Amino acid sequence: MDISVIIPLFNEEESLPELANWIDEVMKKNNFLYEIIFVNDGSTDSSWEIIQQLAQQNPACKGISFTRNYGKSGALQTGFQEAKGKVVITMDADLQDSPDEIPGLYDMIINQKYDLVSGWKKDRKDPIMKTVPTKLFNWVTSWFSGIKLHDFNCGLKAYRLAVVKNIVVYGEMHRYIPVMAKWAGFGKIGEKVVKHQARKYGKTKFGLERFLYGFLDLLSIMFVSKFRKRPMHFFGSMGILSFMMGFMITLYMIYDKYMNVFVRHIKGREINEQPLFYLALVAVIMGTQLFLAGFLGEMITTSSHQQGEYVIGEKVNI
């Protein structure tokens, strides 16, 4: 199979028939062998009934329906598990991503040997209250990760099959799939300017709070990616630094007490009456705890993500 198209969706009943027909036209025009995997993320409208109808009309259309809303990351991860195409394309269901971009993305993966290609909505059809925070978000992510992309959060992306089979997307981590791919060893990451269309039906499902959560997720990914398999390198280093700081302060206080009593013949304050004593005590205790945390981290399972976390109610053509 050439291409798997994964479409996560939540309450997009109006756009699904048009999107499925559009993708089918593009695939037939380019002689691609393909599948479309609709992942219904707990929609409360008639989205799942429409997906079932599409699956009856076209065997290439497949559907997965969650019992409740888990979020875009859960939908993508489930779609990745089912994908069989050499190239995996993800796109949103709201018709803002154009299926006409699929051949170009496919070419970049197959012929230009990219591991991942991210769409870049250079000319966005969104209000300024959405575009300005998005630009800031993309700049911060690029700076933190070292990946030179203009649009990390674009839903239109293409992957080699090996990429989606070797990363785990959970929580709200779908924004950082390029970062996860890079840390997994898939370093050839590019981007393609894609057409961004104004939303035709309904309204956006995301609010501004996603940018705050997104930044926290970025910190989480950077930490987990770097120290997941070697927690002692982080906790142990911090623990040794804290312990040594407390130890040096303690030596200084002992030296100062000795000089006051035996050299200067001054009766100074007792050691336990000095603020530095409590600072040293806290530093030593924190250092010991951090060091122990590093040992425990080496012994605990490196990933808390559990396969099968998303409860699927129904499937069609899968």
Structure tokens at 54: 């599409």
Contact assessment for residue 9 and residue 38, using Cβ atoms and an 8 Å cutoff:
yes
Query: Please, are residues 63 and 93 in contact by the beta-carbon 8 Å criterion?
Result: no
Question: What are the pLDDT digits (tens) for 176-208?
Answer: 899 889 888 898 999 999 987 766 666 665 555
Per the CB < 8 A criterion, the answer to whether 182 and 138 are in contact is no
β strands within the chain, DSSP E: 3-9, 34-40, 61-66, 87-90, 116-120, 157-160, 189-193, 312-316
Which helix (H) or strand (E) element contains residue 243? helix 231-258
Is the pLDDT at 169 greater than 90? The verdict is: no
Maximum average pLDDT range among 9-13, 118-122, 221-225 = 9-13
CATH number of 3-227+307-316: 3.90.550.10
9 pLDDT exceeds 60? yes
- Judge contact between 118 and 39, C-beta under 8 A: no
The pLDDT score that the predictor gives to residue 270 is 81
**Residues in Cβ contact with 123 at an 8 Å cutoff, skipping those fewer than 6 apart:** 195, 196
Reported as a single tens digit per residue, the pLDDT across 212-227 is: 566 666 666 666 666 6
8 A C-beta contact, residue 287 and residue 239: yes
**The pLDDT value given to residue 38:** 98
Is 114 or 275 the better-scoring residue by pLDDT?
114
Taking residue 166's Cβ as centre, other Cβ atoms within 10 Å add up to 14
Which residues on neighbouring strands pair with residue 157, listed in sequence order?
90, 118
List the domain boundaries for the chain. 3-227+307-316, 231-299
Answer yes or no: is pLDDT of 243 > 70: yes
β-partners of residue 5 are: 36, 89
Question: Which among 214, 201, 205, 287 is positioned nearest to 246, based on CA atoms?
Answer: 287
Q: CA of 280: how far to CAs of 31, 65, 73, 243, 249, in Å? A: 71, 57, 45, 9, 6
- Distance linking the first and last C-alpha atoms of the chain: 15
Work out whether the CA dihedral 190, 305, 43, 137 comes out positive or negative.
Answer: negative
Exposed/middle/buried for residue 86 (C-beta within 10 Å: 0-12, 13-18, 19+): middle
Retrieve residue 93's tokens.
């269901």
Between 318 and 189, residue with greater pLDDT: 189
Q: Which of the pair, 273 or 94, is modelled with greater confidence?
A: 94
